[in-house]
Structure formats: C-alpha cells, structure tokens
C-alpha cells in the first residue's frame, strides 16, 4: 500500500480536498487505499452494500443510519471526495490557538461532530429529535429485553432532561447542551494513522 504522488494524481481535485478537509496528503492516500479496498467491483464508487460488508457497522444497532449519513439525500453512490469529506468530521481536533475570527468553521469542529451524531437520531431531518425517534433508537439498542412501559419512561425522562423550550422534542441546540460535559472531541475522533 504505497503512498506516492501517483496515487494522489488519481484523485480528482486533490488540493481542494486537502484544503477543505484538513487532511494531509498521506492521510488522503490511506483513505484512498481504504476506499479501493471497500470497492469490491472496482467501480470507483461505493454503494450501501459495500459499507455493510464492514463488520463493525454490521453489528452496530445504528449501523444503517451511519451508512445513510455518508450518502446525501437521494444519492446511492458516492465517490471518493464525498467519502473523504464525511470522514473528515472525525479528524481529531488540534488545539491550535491561532484562529482567524472570520474563517469558516473547520469541518471537524465540535459542533460539526455533534451535528453528525444528531443526524443519526433525527431520521426525518426536521431538526428535532421527537419522542418517536427516541423510541425507535431505544428499540434498536435494547431489543426485547425491556418492557414498553420502561421504554416510555426512559424517553419521557430523556426529553424532560434535555428539552429546554418545552416543545417536547430535542433540537440541535439542546442536544449540544446536554452533551456539553462529554468529551466529544476525543470520543468522536479517529486517528487515521
């Protein structure tokens, strides 16, 4: 799995990608190799089935939702650039103090990481996690081991804790606030090398 200029040359718009995602060229090479190993039929594109071959996603109760997050609306095949862009959110946050005040928020900022997680729960993309969506997630996670009544208790309690404006659903702001003590930068980061 060599990483060299020829690999980089195969990627479309590689400089723009590097700038946007913040990856270094060796990161991009590694990701490209991984992309190709996932792409069994050598189409140069990935579909949902290729992702489901990964065992960690297959046993994950939210695996399908994670896969869906890679595919924007109504698109069933993604190319390497969008693959890299989605993965860029998991790049570890560097603690560099220099920050231009008017530069756009980097793609791996805490807010964007949380946004990714939020989208896993907000299936209908209305910007809020409702009672029903929470119930669905709980059923995926707990299966049949918990009674309906207990599930209802849990969802009610969760919404009661996190909901600040009383609309019986959790918006992205409330989601962020409830997780403000969780060390999201470490937990939602993957070291690629």
Partner 1 sequence: MENTLHHVVLLLSVFFWFIWCVQHQIIAKETEHAKRVSHLSEKHCSIEEMRHFGSSVASYFIFLRWMYGMNLVLFGFTFGLVVIPELLMGLPYGSIPRKTVPRAEQAKAMDFSTLWDFDGYCKYSVLFYGYYNNQRTIGLLKFRLPLAYLMVGIGTFGYSLMVVIRTMASNANESGGDGEDSDFNFSWKMFTSWDYLIGNSETADNKFASITTSFKESIVDEEENQKDENIHLRRFLRVLANVLILCCLGGSGYLIYFVVKRSQDFATRDDLGWYEKNEVEIVMSLLGLVCPPLFESIAELEEYHPRIALKWQLGRIFALFLGNLYTFLFALFDEVNQKLAVEESIKNATTWATHMHYANFTGNTSATPPPIDPADEFVKLTVSDIQVTYITILVGDFLRAVIVRFLNYCWCWDLESGFPSYAEFDISGNVLGLVFNQGVIWMGAFYAPGLVGINVLRLLTSMYYQSWAVMSSNVPHERIFKASRSSNFYMGLLLLILFLSLLPVVYTIMTLPPSFDCGPFSGKSKMFDIILETIELDFPAFVGNIFSYVANPGLIIPAVLLMVLAIYYLNAVSKAYENSNLELKKKMQMQRDEEKNRRNNQDSTNSIMKDLEDLLPIKSGGGKSTAPANKANTNKNDPPQTAKGAGKQGEVSRNGSRVNPEKEMLLAAQNPRIAVTRPPGPRPPGPLPGNPQLTVPGQRGRGQPQRVTSSNQDPLFLTPEGKVASRNWFCDHLCLRLFRAGLPPDNYSGHSFRIGAATSDAFRNIAPHIIKAMGRWNSGAYELYIRKNIFDLLSMQKKTLCD
* Contact footprint for partner 1 (CB under 8 A): 55-56, 59-62, 117, 121, 126, 134, 137-138, 141-143, 145-146, 150, 153-154, 157-158, 161-162, 164-169, 175, 178-179, 181-182, 186-187, 191
What are 78's strand-pairing partners?
46
Least distance to partner 1, CB of residue 39, Å: 20
Instruction: State the Cα–Cα distance between residues 24 and 141, nearest whole angstrom.
Output: 36
Least distance to partner 1, CB of residue 191, Å: 6
Least distance to partner 1, CB of residue 66, Å: 8
Least distance to partner 1, CB of residue 144, Å: 10
Q: Which is nearer to partner 1, 82 or 189 (CB)?
A: 189
If you write DSSP's letter for every residue of 21-72 in order, what string do you get? H---HHHHHHHHHHHHHH-TT--SSB-HHHHHTSHHHHH-TTHHHHHHHHS-
Tokens standing for residue 135: 């119930």
Q: Which is nearer to partner 1, 99 or 181 (CB)?
A: 181
Least distance to partner 1, CB of residue 114, Å: 10
Tokens standing for residue 134: 């929470």
Q: Which is nearer to partner 1, 24 or 53 (CB)?
A: 53
Pairing of strands 128-129, 170-171: antiparallel
Instruction: State the Cα–Cα distance between residues 39 and 103, nearest whole angstrom.
Output: 35
Residue keyed to tokens 């793609």: 107
Least distance to partner 1, CB of residue 51, Å: 14
Instruction: State the Cα–Cα distance between residues 47 and 70, nearest whole angstrom.
Output: 10
If you write DSSP's letter for every residue of 133-164 in order, what string do you get? HHHHHHHHHHTTSS-HHHHHHHHHHHHHHH-S
Q: Which is nearer to partner 1, 5 or 193 (CB)?
A: 193
DSSP H or E segment with residue 171? strand 170-171
């Amino acid at each position: 799995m060599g990483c060299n200029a020829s690999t980089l040359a195969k990627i479309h718009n590689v400089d723009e990608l590097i700038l946007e995602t913040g990856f270094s060229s060796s990161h991009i090479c590694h990701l490209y190799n991984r992309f190709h190993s996932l792409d069994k039929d050598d189409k140069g594109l990935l579909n949902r089935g290729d992702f489901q071959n990964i065992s960690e996603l297959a046993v994950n109760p939210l695996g399908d939702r994670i896969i869906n997050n890679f595919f924007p609306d109504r698109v069933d095949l993604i190319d390497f650039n969008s693959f890299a862009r989605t993965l860029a959110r998991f790049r570890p946050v560097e603690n560099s103090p220099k920050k231009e005040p008017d530069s756009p928020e980097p793609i791996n900022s805490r807010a964007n990481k949380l946004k990714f997680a939020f989208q896993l729960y907000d299936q209908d993309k209305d910007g809020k996690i409702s009672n029903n969506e929470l119930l669905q997630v709980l059923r995926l996670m707990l299966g049949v081991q918990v009674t309906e009544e207990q599930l209802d208790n849990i969802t009610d309690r969760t919404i009661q804790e996190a909901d600040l404006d009383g609309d019986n659903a959790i918006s992205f702001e409330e989601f962020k606030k409830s997780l403000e003590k969780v060390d999201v930068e470490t937990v939602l980061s993957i070291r690629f090398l």
